[in-house]
Chain A
Amino acid sequence: MGAAGAVAGLEWTDAEVRSRTPWQLFWERFREDRVAMVALGFVAFEVLVALFAPLIVHAFAHPPNAQYPGALDPVFGTPTGPSRRFLFGVDPVGEDVFSRVLFGARVSLEVALIATALSVTFGVVFGMVAGYYRGAVDTVISRLIDVTLAFPILLLALGIASACSLGGGCAGGLIKPGLGTVIVAIVVINWTYIGRVIRGQVLSLREKEFVEAARASGAGDVSILFREILPNLVAPIVVYSTLVIPQNILLEAALSYLGVGINPPQASWGEMIAEATPIFNTAWWYFTFPGAALVLTVLAFNLLGDGVRDALDPRLDQS
């Protein structure tokens, strides 16, 4: 981020603390936010747990897709609750809920990272192009964003996901059912938000003196976009990304809950919650543990996002 910092310095640093980079400044502000630090700690913990899920499960539990019919009631087939052998109980086919919650974390984080990265990339590129070139290009991209946003999010995602979740997938087999479909559905919808924010920022940035100076010294459009404007967009991009992660986790859970998300037998919190809801009376553990994992994860990412925004936006801090 060295290059970015040098230019961004014009915007972010003030005369007395010139010796600190904007990221040092950010970190100092962020470190003082206790809630955000706890959230960061939880997210870090979760990432570790997800990364080492196979090892943890190997040591303390059972493979996530292994079925233990012996753990079901032999007369009624109902699952049994938390025990020494199955820390979080078992589900209706005798799978270890503990292992599945751990592996579900992998799915949630994968979706969170990949879908967020992709939607931010598309959003930034289209937003910059629209804001910089204005005119016809802007009209086309902005109307596309308006139209996409006019669809109810969940219904659009549901439509895309269910169209791609049957047979060999959609787009000529390019998009396979399962994780890929979920990510595509999320990206198609979510790039629009950041696209719109970025376009607004670029509209004002392109009129700034340093852009004019660059243009006067003969810099091309690409160079201006990426060397002059993009570094100034780092703050909104970071803020927006952290805020969109929990949304994406929830959207994946919702799609899996509705049966068009992650393919069985892969574990997904949304799918577990969907299966657990009708039998909550008899198997509270099946609903409670994935539900708690989902709530805590989303909460942690939300708080983390808030903290990042506060630390990056001095104006907000002053008011």
Chain B
Amino acid sequence: MAPFVVRRFLDSLTVLVGVSFIAFAILFLSGDPTYLMIPENYTRAQITDFRHQMGFDRPWYVQYGDFLGHAVRGDFGVSLRNRIPALPLVLERMPATLELALAAMALSLAVALPLGVVAATRRGTLIDAASMVGGLVGQSTPGFWLGLLLILFFGVDLRWLPVSGRGGIAHLVLPGVTLATYSMGRTARVVRASMLDALGHDFIRTAHAKGLSGAAVVYRHALRNALMPIVTLIGLDFGVLLGGAVITETVFGWPGIGRLVVNAIYEKDFPIVETAVILIATVFVFLNLCVDIAYGYLDPRVRYD
């Protein structure tokens, strides 16, 4: 197990170096930031001096090496807009984004797991058909549109819930539902398929034959064996949620990384974009590392060697 964890960890590090390169390349290709940083009345000589001082006149690989060297020490450069270091600015927004993503994840699982299990155990019934059609509709609904409709109905017409900003649980409801809908539909469908697969095994018939109650068979025997694909999906879904948060946060004025990135893009503040992209990718890579390691505990059949 230990060598596997080490190898997988090193793999993740390589991926992160690649991520930093892609993020750097995007920033580099966006052009020379000099003109965003200097006053308009600079002379040509002053511009040359400034570029040299900032190191913008060096070849790209030197700049990348420099960037990577600073990045591992936690220095991601400064925001071009307000000259504040980029990392703290982005980190400050991280809790809000994680709160929203985790709430959406919890909501999605709370609905999708039971729904998928019920659909699988009552295969072919009206409940099955209705929940699967519902899942497909959820997967096909653009999140930002759903968000607008929810704002219109629950915020503007009924005035039940706040439609903007971060605060207590009430503020979390509408953005949480908006963000959860897609993964809810997808997870419910995967849970159903995975459960159907597990319920078809011989050990299920044995469990029934030795007189176990239906619930014990479903939850202790079938669901446990159906968990693997579901856990994989949860890991991948977290990336979808973090990405989806970009749009959801914009719709609901949620003060997270997503809204920060979108505003930074409008203002051409690329160090912020780059830092946020690298941080989100880091969270995602780390999470999927945990999922891989969790396999070993969830399923003793998985051997790492």
Interaction A to B: no
Chain B residues within CB distance 8 Å of chain A? none
